[in-house]
Amino acid sequence: FELRNEDLKDLHELGQGNGGSVKKVEHIPTGKFMAKKIVLIDAKPAVRKQILRELQILHDCNSKYIISFWGAFLADPNICICMEFADKGSLDGIYKKIGPIEIDVVGKVAFAVLEGLTYLYDAHRIIHRDIKPSNILFNSEGEVKICDFGVSGELVNSIADTFVGTSTYMSPERIQGSPYSVKSDVWSLGISLIEIALGRFPFSESLSDDSDLSDFEGTLSPARPGSMNSLAALGLPPARKRSSAAATLKKDKRKSKGVSLQGGAMTMSILELLQHIVNEPAPRLTPEGRFPEAEAFVDSCLLKDPDERKTPKDLLNDSWIVYSKTSPVDLKAWASTF
Ligand code: ATP
Ligand code: MG
C-alpha cells in the first residue's frame, strides 16, 4: 500500500539527530506503529524526487538484522522515511539508562550487526557508513537491528551543511581521505562495542564524570572523501595530551551544538579528536584481560590499517562471534529488565 502522511498520527518524539527528528506514529488504517524520520532537506523538486527513487531500494532490504522500510514521501520542505518501530530504542539510549551492557549481550549485538552488514553488502553492495550505538536498535522481542544506512547519495548531499556520519566513529583511513569500505564499518562497530560495554564513549577515558560525547555533532561541512586529506595542511599543532581533545569537546558542547569549520575552539577540538584517532593507539575494550575473546575481537575491528582489518563476513567466523551466536544469554528476558 501507499503510505500517506494523512494516515499517520503523530504520537511522540523518539529522538533527534543531525538531519532531523524521529517520531513514533500510528498508521491509522492498519493500527500499526511506525517510526517516522523527518529530514529537512535543501533541494530542488527534481532532486527530491531523485532521493525518493534512491530510497526505494530499501523496499528490497529484508533481513531480521535490518530495520524494515515501510515507505517514504515528500512533506514539503521535508522528506519523511517510515520504518519499523523498535520499542526499546537505540543502544545509546539503553546504556545511558541502565549503564554498561554486560559482555554476553555485547557479543549478541556484535553478531547481529555483522549479520546485518554482511547482508547489506552481499545482497545489495550497500556499505552502511554510519554504524554507531544510535543506529543499532533493539526491541522487546530481543531483536537487534541496524538502521540509517547510506542508500541515497542525493539525500546525503541535501542535508544542508550538516556533518553526515559522525566524525568520532570514523576510521583512521576515512579521516585521511580514503573512500568508505565495509572495513570502515568494522572500525565503527569496534568503537560502538567499547562504548556500550563501558557505558561511555571510549575517547573520553580521561574524563572523571560520565560525559556524553557519543552524540556529539559538529557541522564539519566537507564530509566528502578526500576533503580531509591532510590535517597537517590545516596547520594543526601536534596532538596534545590524551585528555585535551575530549575535555575540550565536552566543554564546548555545552555552549553550542554546531560550529563551523572556520574558527572557534570546538573546531580545533574536532580536529584534535580526528588527529588522535589517526595518530594514537586504538582504544581497547578492557585493558585487564577480563574477556580475552571479546577483547581480541574488538582489537581486530580496530586494526588501524584497513588492509589488516577483516570484513564483516570474515568476522562472522571469529571465535567470540561464533560463541556469541549461540550463547545462552536471553535477549528477550534481558529486554524485560528495563
Ligand atoms: P545522527 O543524526 O547523528 O545519525 P541519531 O542516529 O541519534 O544521530 P536519528 O537517526 O535522527 O539520529 O535518530 C534519533 C533517535 O531516534 C535515535 O537516537 C533513536 O533512539 C531513535 N530512533 C530512530 N529510529 C528509530 C526506530 N526505528 N525505532 C525506535 N527509535 C528510533
Ligand atoms: Mg540514526
Whether residue 15 contacts residue 21, with contact meaning beta carbons closer than 8 Å, is answered with yes
Give 289 Cα–ligand 2 centroid separation in angstroms. Answer: 32
Q: What is the ipTM of this complex?
A: 0.98
- pLDDT tens-place string over residues 108-159: 999 999 999 999 999 999 999 999 999 999 999 999 999 999 888 788 777 7
Angle (CA) 199-205-207 rounded to 5° is 100
Give 17 Cα–ligand 1 centroid separation in angstroms. Answer: 6
What are the start-end ranges of the H helices in the chain? 45-55, 91-98, 103-124, 153-158, 172-175, 182-198, 242-255, 265-279, 292-301, 312-315, 319-326, 331-335
Options 104, 130, 148, 185, the catalytic residue: 130
**Does 133 contact ligand 1 (Cβ within 6 A)?**
no
**Does 18 contact ligand 1 (Cβ within 6 A)?**
yes
Give 91 Cα–ligand 1 centroid separation in angstroms. Answer: 10
Annotated binding site for ATP: 37
**Does 214 contact ligand 1 (Cβ within 6 A)?**
no
Whether residue 140 contacts residue 332, with contact meaning beta carbons closer than 8 Å, is answered with yes
- pLDDT tens-place string over residues 156-204: 777 755 554 445 899 999 999 998 899 999 999 999 999 999 999 898 6
Q: Can you tell me whether residue 299 is helix, strand or coil?
A: helix
Residue 266 pLDDT class (50, 70, 90 cuts): very low
- Beta strand 69-75 pairing with 78-84: antiparallel
87 is catalytic: no
- Cα gap 247→203, rounded to integer Å: 10
Give 192 Cα–ligand 2 centroid separation in angstroms. Answer: 13
Q: Which of 14, 84, 139, 213 to mutate to test the pocket of ligand 1 (most atoms within 8 A of CB)?
A: 14
Q: Can you tell me whether residue 35 is helix, strand or coil?
A: strand
Which amino acid residue places its CA nearest to atom 18 of ligand 1? Answer: 134
- pLDDT tens-place string over residues 237-260: 333 333 333 333 433 333 333 333
Tell which atom from ligand 1 comes closest to the C-alpha of 130. 4
Annotated binding site: 37
